[in-house]
Each structure stands twice: as structure tokens, then as C-alpha cells.
Amino acid sequence: MHKFFIRYLAVFMMLALPLSALAQNSSEDPQTPIAVSSATNSDQKIEDRIANIFDKIDGVQSVTVNVDAGIVTLSGDVANEAAADDAKDIAIRTAGVVRVEDKINRTLGVKDNVTPFVKGMTVNSQKLLRAFPLILLSFLIFLTFGLIGGWLARRKALWNKVATNPFLGEILSQIVRLAFWALGAVLALNLIGASGFLATLLGGAGVMGIAIGFAVRDSLENYISSIMLSLRQPFRANDHVVINDKEGIVVRLTSRATILMTLDGNHLRIPNSAVFKGIILNYTTNPERRFEFSLTIDPKDDPIAAIAVGMEAMETHDFVISEPEPAAMIKTVTEKAVTLEFFGWVDQCETNFGKARSQVIRTVTAALAAAHKTPLVPSKTKKTLATQDDVLDVSRDTHLQEKINEDRAQSGGSGLLDQNKPVE
């Protein structure tokens, strides 16, 4: 805490002195002409006026002034370019001056330049010491408001009640944090008389914000997409989805990406901007899913009888639901074969879709072969297949779900996904 206080105090003191000087200098109007008199602006009066001003300003006292027809000629020696610029600025601002001729010699002497610098440093140090209590008070106000904002931002229970959405709650807490820091800065700058600098700073921040917005456009798009997905969620945790061409089980929705567990057990991270704009197929929304497959028979066989045999074989499986009921049709007929297409439905919340389809294909194939009385399925093979039918498990695979549960336990739940939010 002491290191934190000392670090910010040092930064604040470094900024305070130039800001105060800026506020004082801003009151001067460089365009205001220097009046000579209410009478005629003669060359002699202009010369006397400028020379009188030079005598009272350190660094330009040795400059000689000569005025002819309103044209001022400056000559003599000065220490550096800054002193010469001061002399020219004073001359050009004097009423009645038409033009300024610069014939000043810049000596650039070490003593002439070091002495004013040391004197200025001494004066500034004295000003800083006198202003130190005020600067310290300003810094304490700035720091106090910042700490209050940080304390409020860490009240997660409060923001969860206000926003009812963890992601929006986090955004609101950060906005409040920044608002308190900004309010503290405004009060502190006003206290030390540097409010003019604040307007300049805000103007520059606006231009910089536009430039940064273009630079991080993709990140902003992803951030906004995360907000929209958290408000209107297209899926729930554990839903089996296909996003664009990526298939998997939904693990969580974060502020940057949607995490899927692919069917082969790997993590898949998809940016939320791609999810928000993508095509989403959700298998879990409707648990009933249709499978289909095609088989060929000899063109000499009766396709209607083959369909009846295949339908009977499909209905022997309990996992094939009766409503909607299974169906079949003749797909194509050629000289070499007749293609039959079979359809059936399973509850994928209870049944592994791929295993169920495979089991039905094998059973229907065996039934058609037996009805055709071909050696494709010998009697010994039939008995073996029948035994496999009794032990083959087509229940839903729980391994992926176990991996997902472990992942959530380690990473903090399902993120922004909320069962109470509306689903599109």
C-alpha cells in the first residue's frame, strides 16, 4: 500500500507543476495589441515604448530598437533563440508596427544560458514547495475517489442483482470504477487550477478513441457479440450443436468465445462474433432425431415384400420410437438392383444416434438376407448376430458428459449461459 501511494504521489507531483503553469499562461491573450498612447503612433513613441518594455524584461535588455516608418529593426546581443523570439513577439504586438526586422545576434554563451536556467529552476522549486500541500490534497482526493470506485466495482453480489447477467454486471462495475477515477481527476485538477488542461485532455482522448476504435474493430465486434449472446442465448449448456461446420457439445460461453467439446473429446474455441453471425444447428432442442439408410436388393425380388421385412426388423428395437413411426420407400430401380431407403426416429437424449443407426442397418440387412435365402448370412452368423443384439449397448454415451463436468468444475461453471435467459 505504501509503494502504491508513493508511486502515484510522484506521478501526480510531476504533472501538477506544468499543469498549473499552463492554467496561468492560458489567461494571456497573445493577440492583444500593446497600446502606445491615445494620440498619434509616431516612430519615436513606438521606439520608446518598445525600449521601455525591453528594459524591464530579463534577457532582452541589451536589444537595440530602431523604428522607421513603422518598420522596427532589432539589433544587439541575446543569449539564445528563445530571448530573440520574445523580443520579436513584443515588437510585433506593439500598435503601429508594420514589420519587424530581426538583426539580433544569438551569442549562445554558456553563462548567459545556464544562469537563467538555474534561476528558473530555483523559482519553480520554491513554487512547488509552496504548492505541495495543495497538490497533496488534490492527490488524496483523486486517490480516494479511485479507491471508492474500486470497492464498489468489487461488490459482485450488488452488480449481479442490478444486471441479473454476470457479463453485464462486470461491464457495469468497470464503468463505475472508471467513472469514480474520472470524477476524482476532475476535482483534483480543478483544485490546483488546471481545469483548462482537462478540456484539452478530453478533446485529445476523443480523437484517440476514434483511432483506437478503428484499430480494435474486430475486438469490439466480438465484445458486442458476447453481450448479445448473453442476453439472447441460442443454446444451453450441454446442447449438441453444429456452429457453421464445427460440431460438439456446449461447455461454456465466455466474454470472448464459445467453448465446445468435440465428439472426439477435444476443446474447440469459436469467437463469439463468428457464433453470433454463424449458422447454428441445435440437435438438443428437439430430442427426436431421424436416421436414414439405403439398402439394395435383387431386381427379381419383390420390393414391397422387402420393405415389409425391413420395417418389421426395425420395429423389433425398443429404441426406435413408434411416433413418428418408421417408414421406407423405393428410391431407385435399375437393371442390376433396386435401392430401398428406410427411415426411423430415436430419442437422442436417451440413445446414441450413431450406434442406434448402425444397429438398425445390421438388423435390417440380416432380415433381408434371410428372407432372400442367400448365403450372405449363414445360420451360425445369424445366431452370433442375435447374441450381439442382446448385448450391444445403444444408450447415450456418457463419457463426453463426464469430461465436460470435470472441465466445468475446474474452470468455474458454464460461464454466461443461464437457464433463466430466453433462447432463440
With 0-12 / 13-18 / 19 or more C-beta atoms within 10 angstroms meaning exposed / middle / buried, residue 83 is buried
In whole angstroms, give the CA distance from residue 187 to residue 146: 12
Please list the rounded mean pLDDT of every run of 10 residues in the chain (424 residues).
Answer: 46 47 45 52 84 85 87 87 87 88 82 69 78 82 87 79 68 82 82 70 64 64 78 83 89 86 88 88 84 90 88 89 86 90 88 89 90 46 40 54 69 61 54
Q: Residue 387 has what pLDDT?
A: 41
| Per-residue confidence (pLDDT) for residue 390, from 0 to 100 | 38
- Say what the pLDDT of residue 416 is: 57
Q: What integer pLDDT is reported at residue 377 of this predicted model?
A: 35
CB 415 within 8 A of CB 258: no
pLDDT of residue 28: 43
Q: What is the pLDDT of residue 21?
A: 45
77-81: list long-range contacts, CB under 8 Å, 24+ apart: 77/104, 77/105, 77/107, 78/104, 78/105, 78/106, 78/107, 79/106, 79/107, 79/108, 79/109, 79/112, 79/113, 79/116, 80/106, 80/108, 80/112, 80/113, 81/106
| Strand pairing class (267-271; 288-297) | unpaired
Per-residue confidence (pLDDT) for residue 423, from 0 to 100: 54
Residue 31: predicted pLDDT: 54
Give me the pLDDT at residue 358, please: 92
